[in-house]
Amino acid sequence: MITLEKVSFTYRSGQRALQDIDLNLEGGDFIAIMGENGAGKTTLAKHLNGLLKPSQGRVLVDGDDTRKVSVARLSRKVGLVFQNPDHLLFSETVKDEVAFGLKNFGFAPEVVHNQVIRTLEALGLSEYAETSPFLLSGGERKRVALAAILATEPDYLILDEPTIGQDYQQKERLRNFILQLYSQGKAVVMITHDVEFVAESNPKVILLSQGRIVAQGPADSVLSKDELVKKASLVRPQMSRLFGELTKYGLPSDVVDVHRARILLEEKLSEAKVRVAQNS
Amino acid sequence: MSLRTLEGFKFSTLKTPVHLLDPRTKFLIVIAVLVPALLFANIYVMIALLLSQLPLLLVGKVARRWALSLRAGVFLSGLIFVVNLFTGSYLSAIALTLRFLVLLTSFSLFFMTTSPDDLGLALDRIGAVRWLSRRWLGYPNALSFTFTTAVRLVPTLAVDAQTVVDAQRSRGLELDKGNLLKRVRNYIPILIPLLLIAIRRSLELAEALESRGFPGKEGRTSLFQLKLRPADYAIIALSLAMIAVSFWVYFHYKIPVL
């Protein structure tokens, strides 16, 4: 379990990035952190594996205070995937890139080999195993970066803007992948601006604004509230905007995902069909 | 450590009298300090030159950052001192170490109080720079632009460097682990992404510039014009006098180390 207790953080420049953040993260959790640019999302993520230490309060990873344990040790449990893959790719082949973290953590060569092959397969990158990561497209590089972290099988996975530059099919794959991970008992935290992606995945949403948590709860209740969403410089997902206009037909306003929308609309339409049949 | 060293050369956006001086004036100050510092290896001269820059550091409100750059220079100063101990007397070693600090201070003062924009404008007004630029690159203001861009990219690259270090540490890289050879090798995962980011960024910059019509035609004017004010003239006169006196003394007297 990762616990943040009254965490505040001020950069050396004097900029206050986080204020009084309380947060619990357990296996099986799926959390989306959303908020405007500069709200403190990435700063928060960097606290989870000890890259940044809180100015006030403390962060505990499985009981260890991040101030007392090295980043390398924390990173075995907490995998942080950075937003821009160009900040971490450096190897000659995709295979080597994915193996880097495993080697750093001291796994035996055959474990490294098996783990690399398994991870590349899971992310649909097997055909690029011997390719240079720099020859890949932006979206593919991003997946290599994800594979590099996933290969070490962290208990907590933190993804910074995972959907940027991914086409819809890849996003769908990513969603299934995340679903698989947290149903296996891992914790997944996703930092994103992508409301539609969040709406469809229905995680717990934490809205961050100016370094403070302004709202948290299930995606459908948070993302369907105009005043909350505006605070975080977002817009409501399309389904929510549609259902917001349909309340006069007795439909609920907190619908954000296609699946629930379909069920509700089907009900309404078949009722209407029955009524038409009765009238004629 | 290495990143903090750069702080001492980074421009600070303040509006102090020192910042408002014309960049050409400030560069002349650098030369006026450089000339006596290089002509004489005398301890008193060095101390005087160091002290003469203090008021400018204080008025320019950059004294604290200057202290940072000094702290970074401690290692090099030590090296210079030790090397010169072997080749000369301890007095000349002190003088040469002080000379290094004088040079460090004057350049640090110049870069901390001169915005890259002003520097570019000033360079663009220098005939020799325009001539060279036309010879090498085909356009009169391409060279000064290159220089300004290089200066400007330093802080951006520093931020990138920090992110790369963070990203690799998150993958279990421990920079200060292992023997000397291992430690040097530890920097490969830092340097390669950084190099590629720099290359990629310069290609993007080139395309962005081209799509906006860079470098334009010969008679390009600029939005901001540099203008020398009375304070500039006074300092220019003082600096020129200092340079002249330095040369005069150099050719007429022999100045000992102490």
- Would you state the pLDDT for residue B8? 66
Name the band, by pLDDT with cuts 50, 70 and 90, for residue B5. Answer: low
* pLDDT for B42 beyond 80: yes
Rg (CA), chain A: 21
pLDDT above 70 coverage of chain B, percent: 96
Name the domain count of chain A: 2
pLDDT tens-digit map of A63-89: 999 999 999 999 999 999 999 999 999
Average predicted confidence (pLDDT) for chain A: 92
Task: Answer yes or no: is A112 within a domain.
Answer: yes
Q: Are residue A151 and residue A248 in the same domain, yes or no? A: no
Q: Are residue A122 and residue A211 in the same domain, yes or no? A: yes
pLDDT above 90 coverage of chain A, percent: 80
Angle (CA) B171-B176-B180 rounded to 5° is 120
* pLDDT for B2 beyond 60: no
CA distance A86 to chain B (A): 6
Most confident of B21-25, B31-35, B38-42, B76-80: B31-35
Separation between Cα atoms, residue B142 and residue B216, nearest integer Å: 10
Q: Are residue A178 and residue A261 in the same domain, yes or no? A: no
Which residues on chain A are in Cβ contact (under 8 Å) with B158? none
Do residues B154 and B6 make contact, with C-beta atoms less than 8 angstroms apart?
yes
First to last CA, chain A: 62
Report CB contact under 8 Å: B172, A152: yes
Task: Answer yes or no: is A229 within a domain.
Answer: no
Average pLDDT over residues A117-132: 93
Q: Which of B171, B182, B204 to probe the A interface (max A CBs under 10 A)?
A: B171
Do residues A48 and A80 make contact, with C-beta atoms less than 8 angstroms apart?
yes
Q: Are residue A46 and residue A134 in the same domain, yes or no? A: yes
- Give chain A's contact residues with B (Cβ, < 8 Å): 46, 49, 51, 70-72, 75-76, 79-80, 82, 84, 86-90, 100-101, 104-105, 134, 148-149, 152
- Would you state the pLDDT for residue A55? 94
Task: Answer yes or no: is A231 within a domain.
Answer: no
* pLDDT for B136 beyond 90: no
Within 8 A by CB and 6+ apart from A151, the residues are A98, A99, A101, A102, A115, A116, A118, A119
Beta strand A56-61 pairing with A156-160: unpaired
Do residues B112 and B8 make contact, with C-beta atoms less than 8 angstroms apart?
yes
- Would you state the pLDDT for residue B1? 40
Q: Are residue A136 and residue A247 in the same domain, yes or no? A: no
Q: Are residue A58 and residue A191 in the same domain, yes or no? A: yes
Beta strand A2-10 pairing with A16-25: antiparallel
Name the band, by pLDDT with cuts 50, 70 and 90, for residue A192. Answer: very high
Strands (E), A11-155: 16-25, 30-35, 56-61, 64-65, 78-81
Q: Which of B168, B174, B200 lies closest to A88 in CB terms?
A: B168
CATH of the domain at A71: 3.40.50.300
* pLDDT for B111 beyond 60: yes
- Would you state the pLDDT for residue A239? 92
Q: Are residue A268 and residue A208 in the same domain, yes or no? A: no
Report CB contact under 8 Å: A86, B200: yes
CA dist B165 → A96, B122, B193, B194, B201 (Å): 19, 36, 10, 10, 19
* pLDDT for A218 beyond 90: yes
Separation between Cα atoms, residue B104 and residue B99, nearest integer Å: 9
Q: Are residue A263 and residue A179 in the same domain, yes or no? A: no
Average pLDDT over residues A206-212: 93
Q: Are residue A248 and residue A215 in the same domain, yes or no? A: no
Helix (H, G, I), strand (E, B) or coil at A256: coil
In order, the DSSP letters of chain B are -HHHHHHTTS------HHHHS-HHHHHHHHHHHHHHHHH---HHHHHHHHHHHHHHHHHTT-HHHHHHHHHHHHHHHHHHHHHHHHHS-HHHHHHHHHHHHHHHHHHHHHHHHS-HHHHHHHHHH-HHHHHHHHHHHSSTTHHHHHHHHHHHHHHHHHHHHHHHHHHHHTTT--TT-SSHHHHHHTTHHHHHHHHHHHHHHHHHHHHHHHHTTTT--TT---SS-----HHHHHHHHHHHHHHHHHHHHHHH------
Task: Answer yes or no: is A228 within a domain.
Answer: no
Separation between Cα atoms, residue A103 and residue A267, nearest integer Å: 55
pLDDT tens-digit map of A5-64: 999 999 887 889 999 999 999 999 999 999 998 899 999 999 999 999 999 999 999 999
* pLDDT for B6 beyond 70: no
The structure's pTM equals 0.78
Do residues B161 and B190 make contact, with C-beta atoms less than 8 angstroms apart?
yes
pLDDT tens-digit map of B168-193: 999 999 888 888 888 888 899 999 99
Q: Are residue A147 and residue A279 in the same domain, yes or no? A: no
CA distance A116 to chain B (A): 14
Q: Which residue of B has its CA nearest to A79?
A: B170
Q: Which residue of B has its CA nearest to A87?
A: B164
- Would you state the pLDDT for residue A161? 93
* Domain termination residue (choose one: A219, A251, A268): A219
Report CB contact under 8 Å: B171, A75: yes
Q: Are residue A130 and residue A260 in the same domain, yes or no? A: no
Report CB contact under 8 Å: A87, B193: yes
User: B116-125 and B127-137 are packed helices; what angle lies between their axes, rounded to 10 degrees?
Assistant: 90
Separation between Cα atoms, residue A104 and residue B169, nearest integer Å: 10
Q: Are residue A206 and residue A245 in the same domain, yes or no? A: no
Helix (H, G, I), strand (E, B) or coil at A150: helix
Task: Answer yes or no: is A64 within a domain.
Answer: yes
Task: Answer yes or no: is A27 within a domain.
Answer: yes
Strands (E), A178-245: 187-191, 204-209, 212-218
Task: Answer yes or no: is A13 within a domain.
Answer: yes
* pLDDT for A266 beyond 50: yes
Q: Which of A81, A88, A97, A107 to probe the B interface (max B CBs under 10 A)?
A: A88
Q: How many pairs of residues across A and B have Cβ atoms under 8 Å apart?
A: 60
Q: Which of A70, A88, A134 lies closest to B167 in CB terms?
A: A88
- Would you state the pLDDT for residue B3? 53
- Would you state the pLDDT for residue A102? 94
pLDDT tens-digit map of B57-86: 998 888 888 888 787 788 888 888 888 888
Name the band, by pLDDT with cuts 50, 70 and 90, for residue B4. Answer: low
Whether the CA torsion A264, A265, A271, A275 is positive or negative: it is positive
ipTM of the complex: 0.88
* pLDDT for B257 beyond 80: no
DSSP code, position A261: H
Separation between Cα atoms, residue A62 and residue A27, nearest integer Å: 11
Do residues A225 and A216 make contact, with C-beta atoms less than 8 angstroms apart?
no
Which structural domain, as residue segments, surrounds residue A259?
Answer: 237-280
Average pLDDT over residues A115-135: 93
Task: Answer yes or no: is A99 within a domain.
Answer: yes
Which residues on chain B are in Cβ contact (under 8 Å) with A84? 163
| The total number of residues written for chain B in this structure | 258
